[in-house]
Amino acid sequence: MKVTLNLIVAILIMFILMGCNSGQPVPTDVEMIEHFKKHEILFEELCSMIENDSLRHYPLFAQEIRDSIPLAISAERASEYDSLMKVIQIKSFLGYSNHINSERESILFFYFEKGDATWGIEKGFEYVLDRSKEDNKEFTEMELYDLAIEKRENCFLYKKINEKWNLFLFYDR
C-alpha cells in the first residue's frame, strides 16, 4: 500500500509542477541552444553515464518518493544523476526509438514542459546515436514553437544543433 500511495503522491507532484510551469513562456530555440553550448561538456558527461549504466529513462523524483521505488542504480549514482541534471536543468531523460523492439536511436533530455491532461508542449535536447535513422524527422530552421502553432496539429519538430545533437519540440493539441 505504501508504494501505491507514494506513486499517487509522485503523480500529483508532477501535475503540480507542470501547473506551476504553465505561466512560463516557451524558451526560444536561441535561448536553448545557448544553454546547451554553455553546458555541452556536462551533457556529454550525462550521456556517458547513461551509456555506462544502460539506463533507458530516469525521472527526477523527490527523495521520499525515490526511496519507495526500486532503481536500477545505487542511491549514490542516483544522486550523481540528480546533481548533474539539476545543473543543466533537465527534468528527465528517455531512450527513444521510432521502431518497436529496436535499439534506441537517441536519448531525449526534457528541458521544458507545459500543459495539462488535454494538451502539452515538451521541448528539449536530443542526443543522436544513429543519424542514418532520422529520415522520418521533420527538421526546420524556423523557431520550433512558432512552427508548431502555425501547423495547428500534433507534431514532432527538430533543429540540428551540431553533428550529435538536435533541439526537439513535441506539440500535442
56-101, pLDDT tens digit by residue? 888 745 555 555 556 678 888 888 999 999 999 998 888 866 555 4
For 33, 64, 140, the CA distances from 145, given in Å and listed in that order, are: 14, 35, 11
Task: Give the orientation angle of helix 40-53 with respect to helix 75-87, to 10 degrees.
Answer: 160
Under the banding of pLDDT at 50, 70 and 90, the label for residue 35 is very high
CA distance 127 to 72: 22
Range of the domain at 36: 2-172
pTM for the model: 0.77
The Cα 95–Cα 106 span in angstroms is 6
H or E element that contains 172: strand 165-172
pLDDT higher than 80, residue 165:
yes
pLDDT top residue among 140 and 40: 40
* Ramachandran angles phi, psi of 70, nearest 5°: -65, 135
> What's the total number of domains in the chain?
1
What local confidence, expressed as pLDDT, does residue 20 receive?
A: 46
According to DSSP, the residues that pair with 165 across neighbouring strands are 127
Q: What is the pLDDT of residue 16?
A: 47
